[in-house]
Structure 1
Amino acid sequence: MDRRLTPATDRVALRGTGVARDVITDGEQRRVAMPLVDLCRAPDGPRDRQLLFGADVLLIEARDGWGFVQAAADGYCGWVPLAALGDAGDVITRRVSAPATHVYPAPDFKQRETLSLSLGSRLAATGVEGRFARLAGGGFVPLQHLSDQPGDAAEIAVSLLGTPYLWGGNSRWGIDCSGLVQAALHGAGVACPGDSDLQCAAFPEAAMIQRGDLLFWPGHVALALDSATMIHATAFAMAVITEPISDAIARIEAAGEGPFLGARRPRLDDRISFP
Protein backbone atom coordinates (compact mmCIF):
# COMPACT_ATOMS: atom_id res chain seq x y z
CA MET A 1 0.00 0.00 0.00
CA ASP A 2 1.16 3.55 -0.74
CA ARG A 3 2.49 5.04 2.51
CA ARG A 4 1.20 8.48 1.54
CA LEU A 5 -2.39 7.25 1.24
CA THR A 6 -2.48 4.59 3.96
CA PRO A 7 -4.23 5.84 7.13
CA ALA A 8 -2.18 3.74 9.53
CA THR A 9 0.91 4.09 11.71
CA ASP A 10 3.00 1.29 13.15
CA ARG A 11 0.52 1.18 16.06
CA VAL A 12 -2.89 2.40 14.88
CA ALA A 13 -4.99 1.93 11.74
CA LEU A 14 -8.21 3.52 10.57
CA ARG A 15 -11.17 1.17 10.69
CA GLY A 16 -12.18 -0.28 7.34
CA THR A 17 -8.79 0.03 5.63
CA GLY A 18 -7.91 -3.66 5.94
CA VAL A 19 -4.63 -2.79 7.67
CA ALA A 20 -3.93 -4.94 10.74
CA ARG A 21 -2.65 -3.02 13.78
CA ASP A 22 -2.87 -3.41 17.55
CA VAL A 23 -5.35 -0.53 17.69
CA ILE A 24 -8.18 0.12 15.22
CA THR A 25 -9.84 3.55 15.38
CA ASP A 26 -12.60 5.55 13.74
CA GLY A 27 -10.44 8.67 14.04
CA GLU A 28 -11.42 12.16 15.19
CA GLN A 29 -12.51 15.02 12.95
CA ARG A 30 -10.19 18.02 13.36
CA ARG A 31 -9.28 21.15 11.40
CA VAL A 32 -5.97 22.94 10.81
CA ALA A 33 -5.97 26.10 12.95
CA MET A 34 -2.61 27.54 11.89
CA PRO A 35 -1.97 29.45 8.64
CA LEU A 36 0.31 26.70 7.34
CA VAL A 37 1.69 23.45 8.73
CA ASP A 38 4.06 20.84 7.32
CA LEU A 39 2.65 17.34 6.78
CA CYS A 40 5.65 15.23 7.80
CA ARG A 41 6.73 11.69 7.01
CA ALA A 42 7.37 11.02 10.71
CA PRO A 43 7.08 13.07 13.91
CA ASP A 44 9.51 15.96 13.38
CA GLY A 45 10.57 14.24 10.15
CA PRO A 46 10.95 15.47 6.56
CA ARG A 47 8.09 17.37 4.92
CA ASP A 48 5.98 15.52 2.37
CA ARG A 49 3.36 18.24 1.79
CA GLN A 50 1.69 21.12 3.62
CA LEU A 51 -1.80 21.81 4.96
CA LEU A 52 -3.49 25.21 4.95
CA PHE A 53 -5.67 26.98 7.48
CA GLY A 54 -9.13 25.40 7.54
CA ALA A 55 -8.10 22.06 6.04
CA ASP A 56 -10.19 19.23 7.46
CA VAL A 57 -8.30 16.17 8.66
CA LEU A 58 -9.01 12.91 10.43
CA LEU A 59 -6.79 12.47 13.50
CA ILE A 60 -5.80 8.80 13.66
CA GLU A 61 -3.11 8.76 16.37
CA ALA A 62 -1.68 11.26 18.86
CA ARG A 63 1.87 10.68 20.05
CA ASP A 64 4.35 12.91 21.92
CA GLY A 65 2.79 16.18 20.77
CA TRP A 66 2.29 15.01 17.19
CA GLY A 67 -0.79 13.79 15.38
CA PHE A 68 -0.99 11.35 12.50
CA VAL A 69 -3.73 12.62 10.20
CA GLN A 70 -5.41 11.96 6.87
CA ALA A 71 -6.32 15.06 4.84
CA ALA A 72 -9.96 15.10 3.78
CA ALA A 73 -9.25 16.87 0.48
CA ASP A 74 -6.92 14.28 -1.06
CA GLY A 75 -6.42 11.41 1.40
CA TYR A 76 -2.75 12.28 2.00
CA CYS A 77 -1.46 11.03 5.36
CA GLY A 78 1.29 12.28 7.63
CA TRP A 79 2.26 13.83 10.95
CA VAL A 80 1.54 17.38 12.13
CA PRO A 81 2.06 19.07 15.51
CA LEU A 82 -1.05 18.61 17.62
CA ALA A 83 -0.89 22.33 18.42
CA ALA A 84 -1.77 23.01 14.77
CA LEU A 85 -5.15 21.29 15.07
CA GLY A 86 -8.42 22.74 16.31
CA ASP A 87 -12.02 21.65 16.40
CA ALA A 88 -13.95 21.09 13.18
CA GLY A 89 -17.33 22.36 14.31
CA ASP A 90 -17.88 25.59 12.36
CA VAL A 91 -19.31 25.40 8.83
CA ILE A 92 -16.85 26.47 6.13
CA THR A 93 -18.45 29.21 4.02
CA ARG A 94 -15.62 30.84 2.04
CA ARG A 95 -12.20 30.15 0.61
CA VAL A 96 -9.27 32.52 0.10
CA SER A 97 -9.22 33.17 -3.65
CA ALA A 98 -6.48 35.82 -3.72
CA PRO A 99 -2.84 34.69 -3.69
CA ALA A 100 -2.72 35.71 -0.02
CA THR A 101 -4.66 37.78 2.49
CA HIS A 102 -4.59 39.03 6.09
CA VAL A 103 -6.83 38.57 9.10
CA TYR A 104 -7.48 41.79 11.03
CA PRO A 105 -8.75 42.21 14.61
CA ALA A 106 -11.41 44.67 13.36
CA PRO A 107 -13.02 45.47 9.98
CA ASP A 108 -10.36 48.07 9.31
CA PHE A 109 -7.37 47.61 6.98
CA LYS A 110 -5.36 50.12 9.05
CA GLN A 111 -5.34 47.74 11.99
CA ARG A 112 -2.29 45.53 12.53
CA GLU A 113 -2.94 42.10 11.00
CA THR A 114 -3.07 39.03 13.26
CA LEU A 115 -2.62 36.29 10.64
CA SER A 116 -1.55 35.92 7.01
CA LEU A 117 -3.38 33.29 4.97
CA SER A 118 -2.57 31.71 1.62
CA LEU A 119 -4.70 31.01 -1.42
CA GLY A 120 -6.89 28.00 -0.70
CA SER A 121 -7.33 28.58 3.03
CA ARG A 122 -10.87 27.69 4.13
CA LEU A 123 -12.83 29.99 6.44
CA ALA A 124 -15.99 29.89 8.53
CA ALA A 125 -17.52 33.33 8.10
CA THR A 126 -20.53 34.26 10.20
CA GLY A 127 -21.39 37.59 8.62
CA VAL A 128 -20.27 40.70 6.78
CA GLU A 129 -19.23 44.05 8.23
CA GLY A 130 -18.60 46.64 5.56
CA ARG A 131 -16.03 45.20 3.13
CA PHE A 132 -14.97 42.44 5.51
CA ALA A 133 -16.11 38.93 6.37
CA ARG A 134 -16.38 38.25 10.10
CA LEU A 135 -14.83 34.89 11.08
CA ALA A 136 -16.38 32.48 13.57
CA GLY A 137 -13.12 32.21 15.47
CA GLY A 138 -12.59 35.96 15.55
CA GLY A 139 -11.05 38.36 13.08
CA PHE A 140 -11.98 39.94 9.77
CA VAL A 141 -10.85 39.24 6.19
CA PRO A 142 -11.38 41.50 3.14
CA LEU A 143 -14.27 40.23 1.04
CA GLN A 144 -12.32 40.97 -2.15
CA HIS A 145 -9.95 38.14 -1.23
CA LEU A 146 -12.63 35.52 -0.67
CA SER A 147 -15.01 33.40 -2.74
CA ASP A 148 -17.73 30.85 -2.19
CA GLN A 149 -17.65 29.69 -5.81
CA PRO A 150 -14.99 27.71 -7.77
CA GLY A 151 -12.75 29.63 -10.16
CA ASP A 152 -10.83 28.81 -13.34
CA ALA A 153 -7.84 26.53 -12.73
CA ALA A 154 -5.53 28.27 -15.21
CA GLU A 155 -6.36 31.72 -13.83
CA ILE A 156 -5.70 30.50 -10.29
CA ALA A 157 -2.31 29.10 -11.30
CA VAL A 158 -1.37 32.38 -13.02
CA SER A 159 -2.22 34.29 -9.84
CA LEU A 160 0.70 32.47 -8.20
CA LEU A 161 3.31 33.58 -10.73
CA GLY A 162 6.55 34.45 -8.98
CA THR A 163 5.81 32.35 -5.90
CA PRO A 164 9.10 30.87 -4.64
CA TYR A 165 9.74 27.21 -5.37
CA LEU A 166 9.61 25.02 -2.25
CA TRP A 167 9.85 21.25 -2.24
CA GLY A 168 6.59 19.92 -0.78
CA GLY A 169 5.15 23.45 -0.61
CA ASN A 170 1.45 24.20 -0.92
CA SER A 171 1.19 27.94 -0.28
CA ARG A 172 1.88 31.41 -1.60
CA TRP A 173 5.05 31.45 0.51
CA GLY A 174 6.47 28.43 -1.28
CA ILE A 175 5.09 25.83 -3.67
CA ASP A 176 6.28 22.96 -5.84
CA CYS A 177 5.01 21.62 -9.15
CA SER A 178 2.35 19.28 -7.78
CA GLY A 179 1.35 21.80 -5.12
CA LEU A 180 0.67 24.41 -7.81
CA VAL A 181 -1.44 22.00 -9.85
CA GLN A 182 -3.39 20.88 -6.80
CA ALA A 183 -3.97 24.48 -5.65
CA ALA A 184 -5.28 25.39 -9.11
CA LEU A 185 -7.61 22.40 -9.40
CA HIS A 186 -8.87 22.56 -5.83
CA GLY A 187 -9.57 26.27 -6.35
CA ALA A 188 -11.65 25.21 -9.34
CA GLY A 189 -13.50 22.68 -7.21
CA VAL A 190 -11.89 19.68 -8.93
CA ALA A 191 -10.46 16.69 -7.05
CA CYS A 192 -6.69 16.30 -7.37
CA PRO A 193 -4.09 14.17 -5.58
CA GLY A 194 -1.08 15.74 -3.87
CA ASP A 195 1.97 14.42 -5.77
CA SER A 196 2.80 14.40 -9.47
CA ASP A 197 2.94 10.60 -9.84
CA LEU A 198 -0.49 10.31 -8.22
CA GLN A 199 -1.80 13.11 -10.45
CA CYS A 200 -0.50 11.36 -13.56
CA ALA A 201 -2.22 8.14 -12.55
CA ALA A 202 -5.50 9.87 -11.66
CA PHE A 203 -6.40 11.48 -14.99
CA PRO A 204 -6.99 10.18 -18.54
CA GLU A 205 -4.61 10.91 -21.41
CA ALA A 206 -5.29 13.85 -23.71
CA ALA A 207 -4.35 13.56 -27.38
CA MET A 208 -4.22 17.30 -28.08
CA ILE A 209 -3.06 19.81 -25.48
CA GLN A 210 -5.62 22.41 -24.43
CA ARG A 211 -6.02 24.94 -21.63
CA GLY A 212 -6.25 23.24 -18.24
CA ASP A 213 -4.48 20.02 -19.24
CA LEU A 214 -1.69 18.67 -17.06
CA LEU A 215 1.70 18.00 -18.67
CA PHE A 216 3.98 15.37 -17.19
CA TRP A 217 7.65 14.45 -17.00
CA PRO A 218 9.22 11.94 -14.58
CA GLY A 219 8.73 13.63 -11.21
CA HIS A 220 7.35 16.87 -12.66
CA VAL A 221 4.01 18.37 -13.71
CA ALA A 222 2.88 21.61 -15.37
CA LEU A 223 -0.48 23.10 -16.31
CA ALA A 224 -1.24 24.16 -19.88
CA LEU A 225 -2.45 27.75 -20.35
CA ASP A 226 -3.10 27.02 -24.03
CA SER A 227 -1.77 24.60 -26.66
CA ALA A 228 1.65 26.27 -26.66
CA THR A 229 2.23 27.73 -23.17
CA MET A 230 2.41 26.23 -19.71
CA ILE A 231 2.82 27.35 -16.11
CA HIS A 232 4.76 25.41 -13.50
CA ALA A 233 6.67 25.66 -10.24
CA THR A 234 10.21 24.69 -11.12
CA ALA A 235 13.55 24.41 -9.36
CA PHE A 236 15.09 25.52 -12.68
CA ALA A 237 13.90 29.07 -11.90
CA MET A 238 13.15 28.50 -8.18
CA ALA A 239 9.76 30.07 -8.83
CA VAL A 240 6.42 29.69 -10.57
CA ILE A 241 6.94 30.69 -14.21
CA THR A 242 5.29 30.46 -17.60
CA GLU A 243 7.22 28.84 -20.43
CA PRO A 244 6.62 27.70 -24.01
CA ILE A 245 5.80 24.00 -23.88
CA SER A 246 8.21 23.15 -26.70
CA ASP A 247 11.06 24.97 -24.91
CA ALA A 248 10.36 23.13 -21.66
CA ILE A 249 10.30 19.74 -23.39
CA ALA A 250 13.66 20.42 -25.06
CA ARG A 251 15.27 21.90 -21.93
CA ILE A 252 14.17 19.15 -19.56
CA GLU A 253 15.22 16.39 -21.94
CA ALA A 254 18.60 18.06 -22.61
CA ALA A 255 19.20 18.23 -18.85
CA GLY A 256 18.76 14.46 -18.63
CA GLU A 257 15.66 14.74 -16.46
CA GLY A 258 13.57 12.45 -18.62
CA PRO A 259 11.26 12.55 -21.64
CA PHE A 260 7.92 14.29 -21.92
CA LEU A 261 5.25 11.81 -20.81
CA GLY A 262 2.32 13.55 -22.46
CA ALA A 263 -0.80 15.40 -21.36
CA ARG A 264 -3.64 14.33 -19.12
CA ARG A 265 -7.00 15.99 -18.64
CA PRO A 266 -8.56 16.51 -15.19
CA ARG A 267 -12.06 15.15 -14.76
CA LEU A 268 -14.12 18.28 -14.29
CA ASP A 269 -17.05 16.23 -13.00
CA ASP A 270 -14.98 14.81 -10.13
CA ARG A 271 -15.69 17.56 -7.62
CA ILE A 272 -14.50 18.30 -4.11
CA SER A 273 -16.48 20.02 -1.40
CA PHE A 274 -16.39 23.79 -2.02
CA PRO A 275 -15.57 26.05 -0.35
Structure 2
Amino acid sequence: MSPDLDSRVHAIDDATRTAEAALRPQLKDDGWTFVTPTPALAGNARVSLRAAPSATAAQVSEALPGEALELLWDGPAGWQRARTLHDGYLGWVQRDAVSTGQPGELRVTALRAHAYAGPKVSQPVVAELCLGSRVAPADGEIVEEQGRRWVPVRLPDGTGAWVQEVVLAPLGTVDAAALALRFLDTPYVWGGRSAWGLDCSGLTQVVVAQCGHALPRDADQQHAALRAVESPRRGDLAFFPGHVGLMLDASRMIHANATHMRVTVETLGEGDYGRRLAASLEGYGRWTA
Protein backbone atom coordinates (compact mmCIF):
# COMPACT_ATOMS: atom_id res chain seq x y z
CA MET A 1 0.00 0.00 0.00
CA SER A 2 1.10 3.56 -0.63
CA PRO A 3 1.72 5.95 2.26
CA ASP A 4 -0.91 8.53 3.19
CA LEU A 5 -0.34 11.07 0.42
CA ASP A 6 -2.61 13.85 -0.83
CA SER A 7 -3.78 12.60 -4.22
CA ARG A 8 -4.41 16.19 -5.35
CA VAL A 9 -0.67 16.88 -5.49
CA HIS A 10 1.06 13.48 -5.27
CA ALA A 11 0.90 11.48 -8.49
CA ILE A 12 0.26 7.92 -7.43
CA ASP A 13 -2.10 5.18 -8.58
CA ASP A 14 -2.44 2.18 -6.28
CA ALA A 15 -4.54 0.26 -8.78
CA THR A 16 -1.85 0.24 -11.49
CA ARG A 17 1.10 0.60 -9.09
CA THR A 18 2.23 3.71 -10.96
CA ALA A 19 3.78 6.79 -9.37
CA GLU A 20 5.89 9.78 -10.27
CA ALA A 21 9.63 9.28 -9.86
CA ALA A 22 9.84 11.90 -7.08
CA LEU A 23 7.92 9.51 -4.79
CA ARG A 24 10.42 6.67 -5.11
CA PRO A 25 11.98 7.28 -1.65
CA GLN A 26 8.55 7.10 0.03
CA LEU A 27 7.34 3.92 -1.67
CA LYS A 28 9.11 0.98 -0.11
CA ASP A 29 7.11 -1.86 -1.69
CA ASP A 30 8.39 -3.59 -4.78
CA GLY A 31 6.47 -3.58 -8.02
CA TRP A 32 5.98 0.15 -8.58
CA THR A 33 6.42 1.69 -12.02
CA PHE A 34 7.98 5.12 -11.65
CA VAL A 35 7.30 7.77 -14.27
CA THR A 36 9.32 10.89 -15.03
CA PRO A 37 7.04 13.81 -15.98
CA THR A 38 7.37 15.41 -19.40
CA PRO A 39 6.76 19.13 -19.96
CA ALA A 40 3.75 20.40 -21.88
CA LEU A 41 1.53 23.45 -22.28
CA ALA A 42 -2.18 23.99 -22.11
CA GLY A 43 -3.30 24.52 -25.67
CA ASN A 44 -5.19 27.36 -27.32
CA ALA A 45 -8.25 26.78 -25.15
CA ARG A 46 -8.70 26.30 -21.42
CA VAL A 47 -7.93 22.69 -20.50
CA SER A 48 -10.17 20.87 -18.04
CA LEU A 49 -8.41 18.79 -15.41
CA ARG A 50 -10.88 16.07 -14.48
CA ALA A 51 -11.21 13.73 -11.52
CA ALA A 52 -11.16 10.67 -13.78
CA PRO A 53 -10.27 10.00 -17.42
CA SER A 54 -13.74 10.74 -18.73
CA ALA A 55 -15.47 13.78 -20.21
CA THR A 56 -18.31 13.20 -17.74
CA ALA A 57 -16.04 13.25 -14.67
CA ALA A 58 -16.03 16.34 -12.45
CA GLN A 59 -13.71 19.17 -13.43
CA VAL A 60 -11.26 19.61 -10.54
CA SER A 61 -9.28 22.49 -12.00
CA GLU A 62 -8.44 24.22 -15.23
CA ALA A 63 -5.22 25.09 -17.04
CA LEU A 64 -5.34 28.43 -18.82
CA PRO A 65 -4.07 28.75 -22.41
CA GLY A 66 -0.29 28.55 -22.48
CA GLU A 67 0.15 27.57 -18.82
CA ALA A 68 2.89 25.05 -18.09
CA LEU A 69 1.93 21.43 -17.39
CA GLU A 70 3.59 18.12 -16.71
CA LEU A 71 2.31 14.94 -18.31
CA LEU A 72 2.71 11.80 -16.21
CA TRP A 73 1.15 8.64 -17.61
CA ASP A 74 -1.37 7.50 -20.17
CA GLY A 75 -4.94 6.61 -19.39
CA PRO A 76 -7.65 5.21 -21.64
CA ALA A 77 -8.72 6.69 -24.95
CA GLY A 78 -6.29 9.61 -25.21
CA TRP A 79 -6.43 10.72 -21.57
CA GLN A 80 -3.29 11.52 -19.59
CA ARG A 81 -2.56 12.16 -15.95
CA ALA A 82 -1.24 15.72 -15.73
CA ARG A 83 -0.17 18.42 -13.29
CA THR A 84 -0.41 22.20 -13.48
CA LEU A 85 3.06 23.45 -12.60
CA HIS A 86 2.10 26.73 -10.92
CA ASP A 87 0.29 24.92 -8.07
CA GLY A 88 1.24 21.25 -8.45
CA TYR A 89 -2.40 20.20 -8.87
CA LEU A 90 -3.27 16.92 -10.57
CA GLY A 91 -6.03 15.79 -12.87
CA TRP A 92 -6.78 13.97 -16.09
CA VAL A 93 -6.53 15.86 -19.39
CA GLN A 94 -7.25 14.96 -22.97
CA ARG A 95 -3.95 14.63 -24.81
CA ASP A 96 -5.10 16.56 -27.86
CA ALA A 97 -5.88 19.60 -25.65
CA VAL A 98 -2.21 20.17 -24.76
CA SER A 99 0.83 21.31 -26.72
CA THR A 100 4.59 21.16 -26.36
CA GLY A 101 7.11 23.97 -26.05
CA GLN A 102 7.94 26.74 -23.64
CA PRO A 103 5.37 29.14 -22.12
CA GLY A 104 5.10 32.36 -24.09
CA GLU A 105 6.70 35.54 -22.75
CA LEU A 106 3.54 37.63 -23.19
CA ARG A 107 0.95 37.54 -20.43
CA VAL A 108 -2.68 38.37 -21.04
CA THR A 109 -3.88 40.94 -18.51
CA ALA A 110 -7.45 41.40 -19.74
CA LEU A 111 -10.04 39.42 -17.82
CA ARG A 112 -11.32 37.99 -21.12
CA ALA A 113 -9.86 38.43 -24.58
CA HIS A 114 -9.98 37.04 -28.09
CA ALA A 115 -7.21 36.22 -30.51
CA TYR A 116 -8.05 36.89 -34.15
CA ALA A 117 -6.98 35.44 -37.48
CA GLY A 118 -5.99 38.91 -38.66
CA PRO A 119 -5.51 42.46 -37.33
CA LYS A 120 -9.16 43.49 -37.46
CA VAL A 121 -12.15 42.86 -35.21
CA SER A 122 -14.15 41.50 -38.15
CA GLN A 123 -11.61 38.70 -38.61
CA PRO A 124 -12.50 35.22 -37.25
CA VAL A 125 -11.84 34.59 -33.56
CA VAL A 126 -9.29 31.78 -33.28
CA ALA A 127 -8.89 31.54 -29.49
CA GLU A 128 -10.46 32.65 -26.22
CA LEU A 129 -7.87 34.03 -23.81
CA CYS A 130 -8.10 35.28 -20.24
CA LEU A 131 -6.14 36.82 -17.39
CA GLY A 132 -3.09 34.63 -16.86
CA SER A 133 -2.96 33.15 -20.37
CA ARG A 134 0.43 33.04 -22.06
CA VAL A 135 1.24 33.70 -25.72
CA ALA A 136 4.50 34.27 -27.55
CA PRO A 137 5.56 37.20 -29.74
CA ALA A 138 5.49 36.43 -33.46
CA ASP A 139 7.48 37.86 -36.32
CA GLY A 140 6.01 40.98 -37.78
CA GLU A 141 5.23 44.55 -36.88
CA ILE A 142 2.41 46.04 -34.84
CA VAL A 143 -0.44 47.02 -37.14
CA GLU A 144 -2.41 50.19 -36.45
CA GLU A 145 -6.02 50.14 -37.58
CA GLN A 146 -8.63 52.80 -36.69
CA GLY A 147 -6.64 53.79 -33.61
CA ARG A 148 -6.21 50.19 -32.51
CA ARG A 149 -2.82 48.54 -32.16
CA TRP A 150 -2.65 44.89 -33.17
CA VAL A 151 0.20 42.66 -31.96
CA PRO A 152 1.21 39.50 -33.87
CA VAL A 153 1.47 36.52 -31.52
CA ARG A 154 1.89 32.78 -31.55
CA LEU A 155 -0.71 30.76 -29.69
CA PRO A 156 0.41 27.81 -27.54
CA ASP A 157 0.10 25.35 -30.44
CA GLY A 158 2.30 27.57 -32.62
CA THR A 159 -0.54 29.03 -34.68
CA GLY A 160 -0.15 32.66 -35.64
CA ALA A 161 -2.80 35.13 -34.45
CA TRP A 162 -3.39 38.77 -33.56
CA VAL A 163 -4.43 40.41 -30.31
CA GLN A 164 -5.01 44.03 -29.49
CA GLU A 165 -2.13 45.53 -27.53
CA VAL A 166 -4.48 46.60 -24.76
CA VAL A 167 -5.08 42.98 -23.68
CA LEU A 168 -1.35 42.70 -22.90
CA ALA A 169 -1.00 46.04 -21.08
CA PRO A 170 0.84 45.68 -17.72
CA LEU A 171 -1.43 45.77 -14.70
CA GLY A 172 1.05 47.72 -12.59
CA THR A 173 0.64 47.59 -8.82
CA VAL A 174 -2.37 45.38 -8.13
CA ASP A 175 -4.83 45.80 -5.28
CA ALA A 176 -6.30 42.32 -4.80
CA ALA A 177 -9.72 43.58 -3.74
CA ALA A 178 -10.01 45.98 -6.67
CA LEU A 179 -9.03 43.27 -9.14
CA ALA A 180 -11.46 40.80 -7.57
CA LEU A 181 -14.27 43.32 -7.99
CA ARG A 182 -13.67 43.29 -11.73
CA PHE A 183 -14.86 39.66 -11.66
CA LEU A 184 -18.24 40.65 -10.22
CA ASP A 185 -21.08 38.62 -11.80
CA THR A 186 -18.69 36.16 -13.46
CA PRO A 187 -20.53 32.82 -13.68
CA TYR A 188 -19.76 30.16 -11.09
CA VAL A 189 -18.11 27.09 -12.63
CA TRP A 190 -16.82 24.22 -10.49
CA GLY A 191 -13.07 23.91 -11.10
CA GLY A 192 -12.93 27.08 -13.23
CA ARG A 193 -10.07 29.56 -13.05
CA SER A 194 -10.97 32.34 -15.46
CA ALA A 195 -13.39 35.18 -16.05
CA TRP A 196 -15.26 32.86 -18.42
CA GLY A 197 -16.29 30.98 -15.26
CA LEU A 198 -14.65 30.09 -11.95
CA ASP A 199 -15.13 28.72 -8.46
CA CYS A 200 -14.31 30.24 -5.07
CA SER A 201 -10.67 29.17 -4.81
CA GLY A 202 -10.16 29.74 -8.53
CA LEU A 203 -11.08 33.40 -8.00
CA THR A 204 -8.75 33.89 -5.05
CA GLN A 205 -5.90 31.99 -6.71
CA VAL A 206 -6.07 33.94 -9.98
CA VAL A 207 -6.43 37.32 -8.28
CA VAL A 208 -3.67 36.74 -5.75
CA ALA A 209 -1.31 35.52 -8.49
CA GLN A 210 -1.47 38.99 -10.04
CA CYS A 211 -0.26 40.39 -6.70
CA GLY A 212 2.84 38.19 -6.86
CA HIS A 213 1.65 35.51 -4.42
CA ALA A 214 1.34 31.84 -5.34
CA LEU A 215 -1.63 30.10 -3.74
CA PRO A 216 -2.52 26.39 -3.82
CA ARG A 217 -5.63 25.36 -5.72
CA ASP A 218 -8.27 24.41 -3.14
CA ALA A 219 -9.76 26.41 -0.26
CA ASP A 220 -8.40 24.11 2.47
CA GLN A 221 -4.93 24.22 0.91
CA GLN A 222 -5.06 28.01 0.76
CA HIS A 223 -6.16 28.14 4.41
CA ALA A 224 -3.17 26.03 5.43
CA ALA A 225 -0.78 28.17 3.36
CA LEU A 226 -1.62 31.54 4.94
CA ARG A 227 -0.93 33.07 8.31
CA ALA A 228 -4.02 33.14 10.50
CA VAL A 229 -5.22 36.57 11.66
CA GLU A 230 -8.01 37.50 14.06
CA SER A 231 -9.22 40.74 12.48
CA PRO A 232 -9.41 40.93 8.69
CA ARG A 233 -8.34 43.79 6.50
CA ARG A 234 -8.73 44.49 2.78
CA GLY A 235 -7.17 41.71 0.72
CA ASP A 236 -7.26 39.01 3.42
CA LEU A 237 -8.97 35.70 2.69
CA ALA A 238 -11.92 34.39 4.70
CA PHE A 239 -12.34 30.63 5.07
CA PHE A 240 -15.40 28.45 5.53
CA PRO A 241 -15.91 24.68 5.19
CA GLY A 242 -14.93 24.04 1.56
CA HIS A 243 -15.15 27.71 0.66
CA VAL A 244 -13.07 30.89 0.51
CA GLY A 245 -13.66 34.56 -0.21
CA LEU A 246 -11.59 37.74 -0.38
CA MET A 247 -12.27 40.53 2.09
CA LEU A 248 -13.00 44.02 0.75
CA ASP A 249 -12.86 45.49 4.25
CA ALA A 250 -13.51 44.25 7.81
CA SER A 251 -16.95 42.83 6.96
CA ARG A 252 -17.60 42.75 3.20
CA MET A 253 -16.39 39.81 1.15
CA ILE A 254 -16.32 39.03 -2.56
CA HIS A 255 -16.58 35.39 -3.55
CA ALA A 256 -17.59 33.04 -6.35
CA ASN A 257 -20.45 30.98 -4.98
CA ALA A 258 -22.97 28.36 -6.05
CA THR A 259 -25.75 30.04 -4.06
CA HIS A 260 -26.01 32.88 -6.56
CA MET A 261 -24.10 30.95 -9.28
CA ARG A 262 -21.85 33.95 -9.84
CA VAL A 263 -19.34 36.23 -8.13
CA THR A 264 -21.10 38.39 -5.55
CA VAL A 265 -20.35 40.61 -2.56
CA GLU A 266 -21.68 39.65 0.86
CA THR A 267 -21.56 41.40 4.22
CA LEU A 268 -20.78 38.83 6.86
CA GLY A 269 -23.58 38.70 9.40
CA GLU A 270 -26.12 40.58 7.27
CA GLY A 271 -29.04 38.95 5.44
CA ASP A 272 -29.79 35.24 5.41
CA TYR A 273 -26.72 34.25 3.39
CA GLY A 274 -24.43 36.66 5.25
CA ARG A 275 -25.56 35.25 8.59
CA ARG A 276 -24.99 31.67 7.42
CA LEU A 277 -21.52 32.57 6.22
CA ALA A 278 -20.65 34.29 9.49
CA ALA A 279 -21.87 31.27 11.47
CA SER A 280 -19.60 28.91 9.50
CA LEU A 281 -16.53 31.17 9.39
CA GLU A 282 -13.34 29.22 10.17
CA GLY A 283 -10.96 32.18 10.20
CA TYR A 284 -8.99 34.62 8.12
CA GLY A 285 -5.67 34.27 6.37
CA ARG A 286 -2.97 36.74 5.29
CA TRP A 287 0.25 36.42 3.33
CA THR A 288 3.44 36.72 5.32
CA ALA A 289 5.77 39.47 4.19
TM-score, with length taken from structure 2: 0.84
* Alignment correspondent of 1:132: 150
Q: 1:88 offset after TM fit, Å?
A: 2.2
* Alignment correspondent of 1:106: 118
Q: 1:76 offset after TM fit, Å?
A: 0.3
* Alignment correspondent of 1:42: 52
Alignment length (residue pairs): 265
Q: Against the structure 1 CA distance between its residues 253 and 246, is the aligned structure 2 distance closer, same or farther, given a 3 Å change threshold?
A: closer
Structure with larger Rg:
2
Q: Secondary structure at the match of 2:11?
A: coil
Deviations for 1:150-200, whole angstroms, at most 9, x for unmatched residues? 633223211111111112221222211111111101222210011101111
Q: Against the structure 1 CA distance between its residues 100 and 254, is the aligned structure 2 distance closer, same or farther, given a 3 Å change threshold?
A: closer
Distance 2:33 2:214 in 1: 31
| AA aligned opposite 1:92 | G
RMSD: 2.2
Are the counterparts in 2 of residues 217 and 261 from structure 1 also a CA contact under 8 Å? Answer: yes
Q: Secondary structure at the match of 1:34?
A: coil
Q: Against the structure 1 CA distance between its residues 87 and 196, is the aligned structure 2 distance closer, same or farther, given a 3 Å change threshold?
A: same
Q: 1:120 aligns with which of 125, 132, 156?
A: 132
Are the counterparts in 2 of residues 35 and 115 from structure 1 also a CA contact under 8 Å? Answer: yes
Are the counterparts in 1 of residues 109 and 171 from structure 2 also a CA contact under 8 Å? Answer: no
| AA aligned opposite 2:37 | G
Are the counterparts in 2 of residues 7 and 14 from structure 1 also a CA contact under 8 Å? Answer: yes
* Alignment correspondent of 1:242: 265
Q: 1:119 offset after TM fit, Å?
A: 2.1
Q: 1:133 offset after TM fit, Å?
A: 2.6
| AA aligned opposite 1:201 | A
* Alignment correspondent of 1:176: 199
Misfit runs of 4+, over 4 Å: 147-150
Deviations for 1:198-238, whole angstroms, at most 9, x for unmatched residues? 11111011232111100011111100122232110011211
1:227 equivalenced with 2:250 (yes/no)? yes
Q: Secondary structure at the match of 2:12?
A: coil
1:195 equivalenced with 2:230 (yes/no)? no
TM-score, with length taken from structure 1: 0.88
| AA aligned opposite 1:146 | L
Are the counterparts in 1 of residues 269 and 275 from structure 2 also a CA contact under 8 Å? Answer: no
1:4 equivalenced with 2:26 (yes/no)? no
Distance 1:157 1:119 in 2: 12
* Alignment correspondent of 2:285: 264
Q: Secondary structure at the match of 1:5?
A: coil
Greater Cα offset, 227-236 or 151-160:
151-160
Q: 1:145 offset after TM fit, Å?
A: 1.3
Q: Against the structure 1 CA distance between its residues 158 and 5, is the aligned structure 2 distance closer, same or farther, given a 3 Å change threshold?
A: same
Q: 1:52 offset after TM fit, Å?
A: 1.1
* Unpaired runs of at least 5, structure 1: 270-275
Deviations for 1:61-116, whole angstroms, at most 9, x for unmatched residues? 12230110111010001100000110123x52122221100001122222121111
1:13 equivalenced with 2:19 (yes/no)? yes
Q: 1:52 aligns with which of 64, 68, 87?
A: 64
Q: 1:46 offset after TM fit, Å?
A: 2.0
Are the counterparts in 2 of residues 67 and 82 from structure 1 also a CA contact under 8 Å? Answer: yes
1:23 equivalenced with 2:33 (yes/no)? yes
* Alignment correspondent of 2:97: 84
Are the counterparts in 1 of residues 266 and 274 from structure 2 also a CA contact under 8 Å? Answer: no
Are the counterparts in 2 of residues 214 and 266 from structure 1 also a CA contact under 8 Å? Answer: no
Distance 2:276 2:100 in 1: 50
